[in-house]
Every structure is written in structure tokens, then in C-alpha cells.
Structure 1
Amino acid sequence: MTDAAPRRGRGRPTRTQTEAGPATRDRILDAAREEFSARGYEKTSVRGIAKAAGVDSALVHHYFGTKEQVFEAAVEGAMAPALGAPETIVDGPLDGVGERLTRFFFGVWENPTSRTPLLAIVRSAVNNDTAAAVFRRLVAAQLMRRIAARLDALDAPDAELRAELAAAQLVGAAMLRYVIRIEPLASADIERIVAAVAPVVQGHLTNP
């Protein structure tokens, strides 16, 4: 007589599911971005994300935990292109850093491939306090701190405030152009926008 197979605890993913690996995790994240984009943060559920990804809800919890943690992972992945500015942009000469940073940031938004997930995330952040807190935390960690550290190394006064003001200028302009779509900003030529915003960003970072 053979021993019976051990029973799987309720709510725990099967071994086959957990061994699915990175492809399954990525599929869950893709489904999460679609759900957050279509429904917003409040109306999106872990069950809905799991159904869209073709997995059990327990597997979503296994990889990410709570809905907030799923959202944070989705945000981080979507925002990575916009917040992960190359070292040559952040650590290059301070002269021209405003233009380099502005051109890079809007370049990500102008790319349809990266703009779609960004829009999904930002729309959720606009309408929900929890989503907004996640968005702020990631912007602070991945963009502002890098810039502030660069300024601090050069003994610039109020480095954190300067970095926050620069980030506010960039994120605010992106919100008005791509999310709220206020005219004429929404349809203005991108080079005109870069030319107008870059000196302001530069001023926040380097003016006395």
C-alpha cells in the first residue's frame, strides 16, 4: 500500500504552479497592469488579476503578497524606464543636466511601448491614496534620491528639496500632457516642451 500524497494546504499554490518560474510571474504582472489600467486600483482585485493571468489567486499571493504589493511591483516595472535614468545623465556635468534629464524623461513618455503601462499606473495613482503613496515612494527612491545624492556630493545646498522640485516639474508636466491632456500642452511639439521645461529643471538643480 502506498502512502497517500500529502494534502496541499488551502490557499497554497501547487508545486507545479510555483515551479512555473519567471514566465508566470511576468504574466501575472502583465495582467495586473491591464487590470489596473482598465478598472483602476480600487476596482481591481487579486482574483481578477489571477483570472486574467490564467492562474490561481494563491499564486498571485505567493509571488507578490497583497494587492498593494502587486500594484507596487507593477508600478516599479512600468516606471523603470522613466526613473532609471542612465548614469551618464545623472552623473554627467551639471551644466546641461536639466536638458539631459528632461529629454530622457519625455523620451520615455513619447515612446508608445513605455507610455501605455505608465498611463495605467499614473491613472490609478491619481484616483487612489494607496496607489498614490506607492507612486510617490518609487519616484522618491529611484529618481529623486539619485539626483539628490549627486548634488550632495557637490555640496549643493538643499539637495533633496532641489531634486524634489525638479521631479515635480517633470512629473507634473507629464501628467498634464499625457494623462489629463490639457491643450495646447497635450499636442505641442515635444522639442518645444523640452526647450521650455529643461531650463526650469536646471534652475531647480543648480541655481543659487
Structure 2
Amino acid sequence: MQESDVANRLIDAARECFLNDEYQRVTTRQIAAKAGVAVSMIRYYFGSKDGLYEDMIRQTLLPLIEAVEQLSLDGDWDFGDFFALYYSTMQENPKFPALILKVMALNQGPGKNVIRQLLERGRQRGTRRLAEIKGEETESEDPKYDLLRISFVSLAMLPMLAKPVLEEQMGHVMDPDFLKQLAEFNGRLLKSGLQSL
């Protein structure tokens, strides 16, 4: 078994355990057993349960952040692409939006700093790109960029957080086709908001 394989198995096992139970109730023994490795491997690769938890959050969110950054490098600014990417990522990890909410709003688990760092990375990149689009100088303190960013986060997260309730109210599931339509619609909303700034 290669070293990176052990670390990846621990990340996958941690994701499954932390998504299905509260942080305090999950033990390193459970995670190691699910990964099929010795408990000492958690300390070897991640230092502690906290370190493993933070790395699990980072590994789950980083591909999304990197993909968003790649989308923002070309000349087209299609917010619908961003929403579609977020929705598909969360569909693969349907319990993950609730985990993020628990970390950020309820302060559960040690992952708050990781999420804050990733959000700040996205904020800085997005602020620069939006300034380029508007043909303005970048002013990181300009509240209009925060308005746009918070709107994006709200439109992205709420449908995935409230998915069961929304599906019950609508009488149908939010399948990939529906989420594609929602992504396009939310993209148009955000673009309209940008033009009004």
C-alpha cells in the first residue's frame, strides 16, 4: 500500500464518519477501522483528529475553489457555470453543505479556519476578476463585491441545504436537469445584480 493511498483512505473514511455523526462523537479508532489502517497513521499523516478533519474539509472544497478559479481566468463571466459546478460538487457529497453550516454557524469541529481561508482566497480572486470586468481599480474594501459574493454563497448553498424540504414542497426531486436550470437562472440573477452595481 502506497503512502498517499493510506492518507487518501483516511480522508475518505473521515469524510464518511464526520458527515454521518457529530465531530465529538467520531473517534480516531472508528476512522482508522473504516480506512483499514492503524490509528497511528492518523497521527503520522495529519498530526491529530483535528488535523485530519481540517484536511478532509480542505480536500473536499479545494477542487471546487480551484475549478472556480479556472473558470474565472477566461474572458467569459458566466455565473451559471459557477452555480452548476457547485451544485454538481454538492450532489456528489450531499451532506457536505450541512457540515459546512455546522462548522461556520454552529462552530462545531475545528474546520472554521480552513473554510475561512478558502473563502478569503475566493474573495480576493473574485474581487480582482470583478474589477477587471467592470474596468475598475481593485478595491478590496468596496462593499459591492461583498454584496455579490454573499449573494452567490446564498444562492448556491440554500438549495442544497434545504433540498429535502424544497423537493417536498415542489413535489419533484431536484435532479441534474432541474439543477442545471436553477444554475442558469441564478447565474442570470447574479449577472443582473453585477450590472446594477
TM-score, with structure 1 as normaliser = 0.69
Alpha-carbon distance in 1 for matches of 2:69, 2:157: 25
| Counterpart in the other structure of 2:179 | 190
Tell me: CA distance 1:29–1:99, structure 2 relative to 1, closer, same or farther (3 Å). same
> Does 1:98 pair with 2:79?
yes
Match of 2:26 among 15, 26, 44: 44
TM superposition shift of 1:131: 4.7
Aligned twin of 1:148: 127
Q: Residue 137 of structure 1 aligns with which residue?
A: 116
The one-letter amino acid paired with 1:67 is K
User: Aligned equivalents of 2:142 and 2:51: distance in 1?
Assistant: 26
1:103–1:38 Cα change, 3 Å: closer
Q: Distance in 2 between matches of 1:200 and 1:156?
A: 23
Specify the SS of the correspondent of 2:67. Answer: coil
Contact 2:84 2:183 in 1 (8 A): yes
Q: Is the 8 A contact 2:94 2:160 kept in 1?
A: no
* Alpha-carbon spacing, 1:107–1:53, altered in 2? closer, same or farther (3 Å): closer
Give the superposed CA RMSD.
Answer: 3.3
1:160 and 1:104 map into 2 onto residues whose CA distance is: 27
Q: Which runs of 5+ in 2 are unaligned?
A: none
- The TM-score normalised by the length of structure 2 is 0.72
Relative contact order (alpha carbons < 8 A, sep ≥ 6): 1 or 2 greater? 2
Deviation at 1:76, TM superposition (A): 1.4
Choose the corresponding residue for 2:150, options 142, 153, 168.
168
Over 3 Å counting, the alpha-carbon distance change for 1:67 and 1:38 in structure 2 is same
Match of 2:47 among 50, 65, 90: 65
Read off the aligned partner of 2:79 and give its amino acid letter: G
Structure 1, unpaired ranges of 5+:
1-18
Structure with max Cα Rg: 1
Q: Percent identity?
A: 18
Distance between the aligned counterparts of 2:112 and 2:66, measured in 1?
A: 19
Deviations 1:66-122, CA, capped at 9 Å, x for gaps: 32221111111111332222555212336x43233233333433xx4x334735743
